[in-house]
Amino acid sequence: GENVEQHPSTLSVQEGDSAVIKCTYSDSASNYFPWYKQELGKRPQLIIDIRSNVGEKKDQRIAVTLNKTAKHFSLHITETQPEDSAVYFCAALLNRDDKIIFGKGTRLHILP
């Protein structure tokens, strides 16, 4: 079945610097790649997503890139702020209405 690998598991960056989280997926038929931010004890919150027909998408300080050939996708956060500290999950879906397959998560620490 579909598998999503995510790294690093933990990432510490200085406030104001950039953070990059990388994921790979196994099923080349995957079509949709959401990213979630999860704060302690809360639900996963969708922060950005990308579909398979797009190579890059940006929303203010957050951007996502997708390389379908290599089956890689990445999250980039620029000008990091303390409130960016959280666990981030990448995920993949084959089709609309399909189950979400999550990566193992990256705990991001923003250092003052």
Of 44-63, binders to another protein (CB under 8 A) are 44-46, 49, 51
Nearer to another protein, 49 or 78 (CB): 49
Residue 110 is a binding residue for another protein (CB under 8 A): no
30 binds another protein, rule: CB under 8 A: no
Tokens of 14: 């200085």
Give the total of residues touching another protein (CB under 8 A): 22
- Looking at residue 82, the DSSP 8-state letter turns out to be G
Where are the extended beta strands (E) located within 28-105? 32-38, 45-51, 56-59, 62-67, 72-77, 86-92, 101-102
Pairing relationship of beta strands 62-67 and 10-14 according to DSSP bridges: unpaired
Stretch that binds another protein, among 20-28, 66-74, 76-84, 91-99 (CB under 8 A): 91-99
Nearest CB to another protein, comparing residues 40 and 112: 40
- Whats the size of the chain, residue-wise? 112
3 binds another protein (CB under 8 A): no
From the CB of residue 89, how many other CB atoms can be counted at a distance below 10 Å? 23
Give the residues lining the site for another protein (CB under 8 A).
32, 34, 41-46, 49, 51, 89, 93, 96-105
